[in-house]
Structure formats: C-alpha cells, structure tokens
Amino acid sequence: MAAHAHKVKRYRGLMDWLTTVDHKKIGILYLMAGGLFFLVGGLEAVMIRIQLIKPMNDFVGADTFNELITMHGTTMIFLAAMPLLFALMNAVIPLQIGARDVAFPFLNSLGFWTFFFGGVLLNISWFAGNVPDAGWTSYVPLAGPTYNSGHGVDYYVLGLQIAGIGTLLGGINFMATIINMRAPGMSFMRMPMFTWTIFITSALIVFAFPVLTVGLVALMFDRLFQANFFETANGGSSVLWEHVFWVFGHPEVYILILPAFGIISEVVSTFARKRLFGYSSMVFATVLIAFLGFMVWAHHMFTTGLGPVANGLFSIATMLIAVPTGVKIFNWLFTLWGGSICFTAASLFAIGFIPTFVMGGVTGVMLAVAPADYQYHDSYFVVAHFHYVIVGGLVFGIFSGLHYWWPKMFGRMLNEGLGKLTFWTFFIGFHLTFFVQHFLGLLGMPRRVWTYLPNQDFDTMNLVSTIGAFLMGVGTICFLINVVVTSAKARNAKADAWEDGRSLEWTIPSPPPEYNFKQLPLVRGYDAWWKEKMEGKSAMTPAEPPGPIHMPSPSILPFIMSVGLFIAGFGFMYDKLYLAIGGIAVTLICMFFRSVFDDHGFHIEEDEQEKGVHA
C-alpha cells in the first residue's frame, strides 16, 4: 500500500468549512451565503415597497431609494440567485452523473470564496456610506466619474469583478466535470435534464462573464484612472456600455433560468412518476434557447435609437425564443398528463412555476414587439415582466429544488406542512405584488421612481403591490422556520427519499458519504435508477470493484487568495497603492505555493469507507 501512503489531512469545526474542497460542503456554503444575501436583497425589496406604498411617501429619501434599487438588483442577481443555483449544482451534479467530486475541487473552493468576498465587498458599501446608486445596469454617464464621484459605483465595479471570478471558475469547472466525469454508460443523451441545463448554463457563463468583466474593467479604468472608454466629451461612447452590459446581461437571464428549467423537469417527472416527456426535444430546446440568448441583447435597447433595421431584427430574434420555451412548457404539461401527481411542497413550487412562467414568457414576447416596447420600456410593465420570470421562474425553481434535494443535502426531510404554507403565501404574495405592476406600467408609471405624485391612478395598485411583498416576506420566513425546525429532527432520510427518484443521486445514502459512490455505478439508460428499480433491482450494478478511493486534500489557500483580492479591492478604491499591491501579492504567493508544491491528495481505504455513513 506504499503508493497510497499520502498523509490524510482532515480538519474539524470551522477550519473544516474554510478548507473544504468537497462539493457537498461547498454546496452548503453556497446555500448559506446565497441565502444570507437573499435575505439582504429581500429586506431591500420590502423597504422599496414600503416607500412606494403611497404617493409622496418619505420613508426613505431619493438617494437612499436609488441605493436600495441598485443593491436589490445587484444582490439578487449576482449574490443570491446565482449562488443558490451554484448550491444546487454543487450538491447535485456530481451525484447525478455518478462522480466522486467535481473536476477541479480546489477551483471549486476558490470559486466560492471569491464570490463570497466579492459579495461582502459590495455590501460593505452600506457601512462605508458610499453605496452604488446607478441601478444594477450602471448605465454611464450616471455611473461614470463625472456624475458619480463618490466611491459607490467603485464598490459595484470591484465587488462584481471579484465575485465574477468565482462564477467564471464555477462555469469552467462544471463544464469540465460534466464532459469528463460521467459514470460509465452515461452518454450525453442519458444525462438527467438538470445536468443538461447546468452543462449549457456553464457554457453560457464561460462565454458571457468575460464580457461583463471587460466592461467592468473599462468602467473601472474610467473611474479610477481617468480613462475615456465611456466619456463622450473625450471621444468615448456611452452607448458602448449598454451594448457590453447587455451582451453579458441577456445571456445572464438564461444562465439564471435554464437551471430552473432543469429543476422543474426533475421535480415534475419524479412527482408524476413519469419519464420526462420529449426528452430529446427538451435538450434541443435548451441548446437553442442558449444559442438564441446571445443574439437578442439589443432588445434591451429598443429606445436607445439603434434604428429600424436593428430594432426589427432583434424583435424577430427575440420572438423566436418563445418557440423552444413553448416546447418546454408543453413537454412539462404532457409529462404530468397521464401521470400520478403527488402534491408535495417541491412539486407545488414546480407546478406553480408553469403557469407563472408562462405569464412572464408571454409578456416577454409582448416586449419583443419593438414599437409597443417604446411604451413598455423602463416602465413598471418591465418590472412586472422580469420579476415574473426571475421570481416566478427562477426563485420558484430554487424553492422547488431546495425542498426536493434537501433530504439529499442534509439527510432530513423538510416539514411538508410548513413547506406548503411557504408555497401558498409566497405564491399568492408574488402574484399580488407583481400582477398589478403590469398595469402600473401601462398607465404611465416609469420604473426606478422613488416616489410618485398623487392623482395619477397609481395609488391603489401600489398599495396592493406592497401588501403582496409583505406576504412574500411571510413566505420566506415560513421557509426559514422550516429549516430551523427540520434541523432539530432526526437524520433519517432514506437514500431514495421520495421513493420515486429516477436519477443516480437517489441511489446513495442521504447525505452521501464524502466519496459519494463506493463503487461507480454502471448506467444502462436514461433515468438510470428508475430503470433498475423497474427491473426489480435494489441497487445499481457497479462498474468497478471496490477499492481505495482517492480524495483531494482540503486547502486554506482559496480562502487566503480571496482575502487577498478583497484587500486589493479596497486598495484600488481608496488609492492606497500598498494595499492594492499587498493584496494582489497575497493572492500571487498563494498561487505560487499551489503551483510549486504538489498535493497528491489521500486515499480512503476500504475498511474506512463505512465510517461516518448514515442510513
């Protein structure tokens, strides 16, 4: 056993969480961090709605309001929605494809910590008294140095660059994982739908995030070093920023929603006890949506003045996305058709998703009609639309996924009663909040207004909207109570927790041991586990003999590297050169150590493999 004699490194307590490279623990870290930022963003949303509860309200001032909307949007998109998706990706993807970990466990940890410190940097702005206030889109010149001379937008620019590194690393990692680490027999067309959507999402991240980074770097140069990328007075172009932002920003929308499509596909087919209807057309639709997603960015700019040819082309291209999306909707409906539908909290969120997302989708097609968009654009109609797709789509998807995979992640079933309460309060609150906003927009209420004059017929609907927002808050609190209550219960979830599981994650204990699969499974078809169950088997056929399992070593380096970037961020912002250099140096030194000293990981011997395995 000499070949396996590397030292086994293990840490306990806090140190274990700071150094872990285990995808399951990183998933939990993403869940906690993303959940925290979700609460922060939610609180900001509630404050926005309180301010708008009546005309000429003075709950917060104009400046604070602009800070709130900017931070609400930025936090929810980059620091809540994406990390929560990464939480599910990390928790589920390696299990679904029958792998022991992701392709690059060290990178996985680095991705989490850069995201986390980027997010913390962004939110420290509240305490520094310089909060970004140019909207989550940060259009120049409003976000440029001339009209935004404080450090607010610097926090946005630097925080998102650091957090963006994490997202990009995650995208690369999951692409590599899904391409290389599938269990024997799992061809691409046997992958579960969630794995497919994460694969495509990762590709989108890899192509779209560098664009954002380039834009942010250019804006940073404008702000910190007096460059003129976007300064029209010196020959720059402010419309260029809009293009750069939306070339990233539109694919970002699909980065968010495709994983939700994947979750819904899994949940719907599990709780209907039926194979996903039209699997191959679902895969094709996903790829097509992703491809078209890169072709439509200028529909965010119909009123920028690009001219009729551009507006016409982008109108049609945008409408086309409705076709593959429609295919998905009908495939879900026909997965349910003829099934045996069981209503759990997870399936309620998935079922609630379908009509809600359709409503968000059809308003999307309405927005694609450029001349009509001249009326909708930057009005509350748009606010209603994107909350229907992001909350009604993505957040419902995340809630569904969390209820569904919670037993797999933690070994405990969430309380069904509280889960259903969460669903109904959140669902009703959501529609109450956002349905009326369509009409507010049509009646002439622009978005991002910190107050509005009376006598414009806006009052009642704004009141309704605010009441809805409180109800959504109640829903979220129900979920939190559920988490607390559940964490006190016994860890007794079965391997196949819902009994109708179809994919590989349901073949291993809940929660899985650190090496996931004692023996890698042999995949004999789509819905690998369902297929075995239907043939009367109680376990997967192993594809390899039992033996020692190779594991990656934990490492504190990703944490320190991210702290270095975090410090450097402050250095750049406040013109402290020594901090900037010092911070970057910390990161580079860590990279040096990582490159020079090989770490071969360790092995878990056969006799140790049963230790610490539950159920």
Partner 1 sequence: MKRLIPLLAGMAFLLSACGRDDLSTLKPQGPVAEEQFNLMKLSISIMTLVVVVVFAICIYVLIRFRRRKGDNTIPKQVEGNHKLEIIWTVIPLILLLILGVPTINTVFGLSKDYSKDKDALQVKVTAHQYWWEFEYPEYGIVTAQELVVPTGKKVSFELASADVKHSFWIPSIGGKMDTNTGVTNRMYLEFPKEGIFRGKCAELCGPSHSLMDFKAKAVDQASFDRWVAAMKSPAVVPEDAKIKEAFESKCLSCHAVGETNSGASAPNLTGVGSRETIGGILYNDEKPIEDNLKEWITDPQSVKPGATMPSAKDVGLTDEELDGISKYLANYKIDY
Cβ nearer to partner 1, comparing 229 with 517: 229
Shortest Cβ 68–partner 1 spacing (Å): 12
Q: In which region does residue 185 sit, left (phi positive, over 0), alpha (psi from -120 to 50) or beta (all else)?
A: left
Shortest Cβ 14–partner 1 spacing (Å): 42
Shortest Cβ 468–partner 1 spacing (Å): 8
Cβ nearer to partner 1, comparing 312 with 547: 312
Shortest Cβ 396–partner 1 spacing (Å): 12
Cβ nearer to partner 1, comparing 129 with 545: 129
HSE-CB for 361 with a 13 A CA cutoff: 22
Shortest Cβ 85–partner 1 spacing (Å): 25
Cβ nearer to partner 1, comparing 453 with 596: 453
Shortest Cβ 46–partner 1 spacing (Å): 19
Cβ nearer to partner 1, comparing 322 with 579: 322
Cβ atoms < 10 Å from Cβ of 7: 8
Which positions ≥6 away from 5 have C-beta within 8 Å?
none
**Closest residue by Cα to residue 497 from 380, 416, 421:** 416
φ, ψ for residue 507 (rounded to 5)? -95, -10
Name the helix (H) or strand (E) containing 603. Answer: strand 602-604
Cβ nearer to partner 1, comparing 180 with 375: 375
- Alpha carbon dihedral 413, 417, 419, 420, in 10-degree steps, equals 140
Shortest Cβ 411–partner 1 spacing (Å): 26
Burial of 534 (0-12, 13-18, 19+ CB in 10 A): exposed
Cβ nearer to partner 1, comparing 221 with 334: 334
Burial of 20 (0-12, 13-18, 19+ CB in 10 A): buried
Shortest Cβ 266–partner 1 spacing (Å): 15
β-pairing verdict for 602-604 and 549-551 = antiparallel
Cβ nearer to partner 1, comparing 27 with 419: 419
Shortest Cβ 563–partner 1 spacing (Å): 34
φ, ψ for residue 498 (rounded to 5)? -100, 0
Shortest Cβ 394–partner 1 spacing (Å): 18
**Closest residue by Cα to residue 562 from 127, 19, 14, 178:** 19
Collapse the DSSP code of 21 into the 3-class scheme (helix H, G, I; strand E, B; otherwise coil) and give the result: coil
List 602's β-bridge partners, or say none. Answer: 551
Shortest Cβ 483–partner 1 spacing (Å): 25
Contact 70, 155 (CB under 8 A): no
Residue type, 612: G
Please count the residues of the chain. Answer: 615
Cβ nearer to partner 1, comparing 93 with 282: 282
List 604's β-bridge partners, or say none. Answer: 549
Residue 146 DSSP class: T
Contact 97, 195 (CB under 8 A): yes
Cβ nearer to partner 1, comparing 54 with 275: 275
Rg of the chain over all Cα atoms, to the nearest angstrom: 24
Name the helix (H) or strand (E) containing 602. Answer: strand 602-604
**Closest residue by Cα to residue 555 from 26, 19, 108, 110:** 19
CA distance linking residue 25 with residue 20, whole number of Å: 7
**Closest residue by Cα to residue 34 from 87, 93, 109, 70:** 87
Shortest Cβ 78–partner 1 spacing (Å): 19
Cβ nearer to partner 1, comparing 106 with 430: 430
Cβ nearer to partner 1, comparing 45 with 436: 436
Name the helix (H) or strand (E) containing 604. Answer: strand 602-604
